[in-house]
Amino acid sequence: MSQLNELTTRLRNASAVTVLTGAGVSAASGIPTFRGAGGLWRNFSATELATPEAFARDPQTVWEWYAWRREQILGCDPNAAHRVLARWTQTRPGWRVVTQNVDDLHVRAGTRGLVRLHGSIFELRCWRSCRGERFVWRDERVPLPEMPPRCPDCGGLARPAVVWFGEMLDPRDLETAAALTPCDVFIAAGTSAVVYPAAGLLHEARAQGAFTAELNTEVTDATRDVDAAVQGPVEQTLAALDKLL
Ligand code: BV8
Ligand code: ZN
């Protein structure tokens, strides 16, 4: 039986399905992935810029990178992968999406009960956490009126309200995601599965008996660990799965 057929059969009989998404699901919308061709900006890699150390050293440059990404993302729309996943969460109770992406495309596609592990590129918070780390505000203006943007409360530096490398994820998000690993089917879609703790969710699901699958255009660190690896662009493979269900 082909990997796609086996995954289809498993999904048909599943009541709890968790899909972990990465940058690959937004590729077809025109947003470059981190490790793909478009992943560099002024020859910096994401792991060099998406850190509190980089921001402390040079907030202007880090904000220019985020401003460039925000402008790109605002010109992009959700693609078939986002739409299929959104419909699954709306029509199939127990089917959930956990995303590593900060581009808000799952939100714009209407995904119900979305778990965002790394925050949103359109949300900001105070660099000094003058009102606590959980005080976050939304600002979708492109370009931002002031660079770098300021905190409305203390007038100090604002930062993107995303989780940087070396920073803890919000324990509430991590708990919600972990509670979704005891499921019938766990799918890793469009992710290189190298960033933890997000990538660890696949192993947690497998350890609890889930049928695991990967939807990716290439072989990744996770491919050897999954029960079904369906190669191809996720915007096509998810649409094909949706038709077969
Ligand atoms: C933490 C938000 C612990 C920001 C992101 C050394 C020092 C410090 C930390 C570490 C270290 N070593 C390891 C760590 C832990 C680190 C980590 O995992 N590093 C990796 C690089 C090894 N993790 C962390 O730091 C995390 N925090 O561990 O804290 C801690 C403990 C105690 C005290 C303090 C802290 C925080 C990680 C979160 C980082 N933030 N994003 C922003 O976006 O600006 S991660 C960012 O990169 C994304 O959010 C995403 O999660 C990740 C990119 O991964 P992918 O989404 O998978 O994207 P990628 O480009 O890699 O792959 C795309 C895939 O799609 C590819 O496989 C490709 O083939 C496929 N694809 C492409 N097109 C398609 C497709 N597939 C299908 N169809 C297509 N069309
Ligand atoms: Zn402040």
Rounded to an integer, what distance in angstroms lies between the CA atom of residue 155 and that of residue 128? 10
pLDDT of residue 72: 94
pLDDT of residue 23: 97
Backbone angle region of 129, left / alpha / beta, with phi > 0 → left and psi within -120 to 50 → alpha: left
pLDDT of residue 36: 74
**Ligand 1 binding site (Cβ under 6 Å of any ligand atom):** 22-24, 27-28, 33-36, 46-47, 50, 100-102, 118, 162-168, 190-192, 194-196, 198, 216-218, 220, 233-235
pLDDT of residue 127: 98
Which residue is it, tokens 């660990």?
A: 225
**pLDDT tens-digit profile, the chain (245 residues):** 799 999 999 999 999 999 999 999 999 999 998 877 777 788 888 889 999 999 999 999 999 999 999 999 999 999 999 999 999 999 999 999 999 999 999 999 999 999 999 999 999 999 999 999 999 999 999 999 999 999 999 999 999 999 999 999 999 999 999 999 999 999 999 999 999 999 999 999 999 999 999 999 999 999 999 999 999 999 999 999 999 99
Which of 34, 159, 165, 203 best tests ligand 1's pocket when mutated (most atoms within 8 Å of CB)? 165
> Which atom of ligand 1 approaches the CA of 234 most closely?
78
Ranges of each domain in the chain = 1-31+78-118+169-245, 32-75+119-162
Task: Kindly report the three-state secondary structure assignment for every residue of the chain.
Answer: CCHHHHHHHHHHCCCCEEEEECCHHHHCCCCCCCCCHHHCECCECHHHHCCHHHHHHCHHHHHHHHHHHHHHHHCCCCCHHHHHHHHHHHHCCCEEEEECCCCCHHHHCCCCCCEECCEEEEEEEECCCCCCCCCEEECCCCCCCCCCCECCCCCCEEEEEECCCCCCCCHHHHHHHHCCCCCCEEEEECCCCCCCCCCHHHHHHHHCCCEEEEEECCCCCCHHHCCEEEECCHHHHHHHHHHHC
**Catalytic residue status for 118:** yes
Architecture of 1-31+78-118+169-245 per CATH? 3-Layer(aba) Sandwich (3.40)
| CA of 154 relative to ligand 1 center, distance in Å | 31
CATH superfamily of 32-75+119-162: SIR2/SIRT2 'Small Domain' (3.30.1600.10)
Distances (CA, A) of 153 to 119, 150, 160, 200: 21, 9, 16, 37
Q: Which of 34, 98, 46, 105 minimizes the C-alpha distance to 76?
A: 105
